Structure 1
Amino acid sequence: MKYVKPLNLFDELLKRKVAERGRLLGLDVGDKYIGLAISDPKNEKASPLSVLLRKKHNIGKMADRFQALISEHNLEGFVVGYPFNKNRTTTDGAQVKLFIDELCNTGKLKGLKYTYWDEGFTSKIVELLLKNLNLPQVMSKTINDKFAAAGILQGYLDKANKKVKLEGAMEGDYECRF
């Protein structure tokens, strides 16, 4: 796996013909679970996908699952939620980087690109939305994780698509009238 700057990942997708473009997978990395979300084929909308159980001894199995998802959904890269904090590295941030390093070290995801995107309290927002549903704790946790991943990925897609539209508007032929 190779790290690329956030918007460079999207720019690389755009260099391909529309029919050849892959999709993106959003990851919300937690202590016990990894929430997954997937973009639509046009890379405009994110949808919750599933949750993977995270244990120290199952990183190889997780890499295998990611390989299957890459083939099944024509994935180009991962958008990994990261708790950016201007003042210091958080323990959550260190945990996310450790997970990505472990995944890279399996050697099973060569050629895949990834980037980090600010998770911006996505888990807390989803938690508040689910609070009044009174779901069983396990169900609530898995729903929270995959919807948090969808929030991370959607935030990334919104920013990347907005940048593309702005650049397109700047390249257009516009006449100013006063």
Structure 2
Amino acid sequence: MTSAIVPLETFLDLPAHARLLGLDLGTKTIGLALSDLERQIATPLETIQRVKFGLDAAALLKIAAKHQVAGLVIGLPLNMDGTEGPRVQSTRAFVRNLAPLTDLPIVFWDERMSTLAVTRTLLDADASRAKRAAVVDKMAAAYILQGALDRLGRLAFTETDEDGMND
């Protein structure tokens, strides 16, 4: 078993009606979101409390198997100027260690502003600090996954349009 880090376009070749799992990797938690079977809508799923890599990976892969996930979309926390900092290095290390444990293809997705956008949405909804803390990671994962799903949808449309199938 060894998964590969692939470009998003590769996900167009995944089996139909297979879900994707979005991840927001934090230092204390991993937020998870799940796509619908048509890969159009991301829904917050749950948050894994991080313990140590082996346990975190096992929990993650168990959830992926339970939901028959076909691929992983992992948020890449780039700096605002697009450079890579320590959090990106940590995310890449997590994925390097996860890859030998699964055959699932993995895509990195720019997650800049995801937590901020989700926090603002929760503040606008007048969610308490405790409520925000409980849901922000899985909502950030949904935000990340939704961005990837939207891009996949545009890629699929472009691909079918070029084939003359969308006239």
Shorter-chain TM-score tier: 0.7 to 0.9
**2:140 corresponds to 1:148:** yes
Partner of 1:76 in structure 2?
A: 70
> Would the alpha carbon gap of residues 69 and 165 (structure 1) be closer, same or farther in structure 2, given more than 3 Å must change?
same
Post-superposition shift, 1:142? 3.0
Q: Helix, strand or coil for the counterpart of 2:83? A: coil
Q: Determine the C-alpha separation between the residues in 1 that align with 2:134 and 2:59.
A: 17
Structure 2: stretches of 5+ with no match in the other structure: none
1:88 paired residue among 83, 87, 91: 83
Q: Helix, strand or coil for the counterpart of 1:37? A: strand
Q: CA RMSD in A?
A: 2.1
> Would the alpha carbon gap of residues 160 and 134 (structure 1) be closer, same or farther in structure 2, given more than 3 Å must change?
closer
Q: Determine the C-alpha separation between the residues in 1 that align with 2:144 and 2:85.
A: 18
What does 1:55-134 align with in structure 2 at a 5 Å threshold? 55=51, 58-85=52-79, 88-104=83-99, 107=100, 109-132=101-124, 133-134=126-127
2:156 paired residue among 159, 164, 174: 164
- Check the 8 A contact 2:19/2:68 in 1, yes or no: yes
**2:51 corresponds to 1:49:** no
**2:41 corresponds to 1:39:** no
Counting matched residue pairs gives 163
Rg (Cα) greater in structure: 1
Post-superposition shift, 1:33? 0.9
2:128 paired residue among 124, 135, 146: 135
Bigger drift between 91-100 and 112-121 goes to 91-100
Q: Determine the C-alpha separation between the residues in 2 that align with 1:173 and 1:80.
A: 32
Structure 1: stretches of 5+ with no match in the other structure: none
Q: Determine the C-alpha separation between the residues in 2 that align with 1:29 and 1:102.
A: 14
% identity of equivalent residues: 31
Q: Helix, strand or coil for the counterpart of 2:75? A: strand
- Check the 8 A contact 1:24/1:77 in 2, yes or no: yes
Partner of 2:13 in structure 1?
A: 12
Partner of 2:5 in structure 1?
A: 3
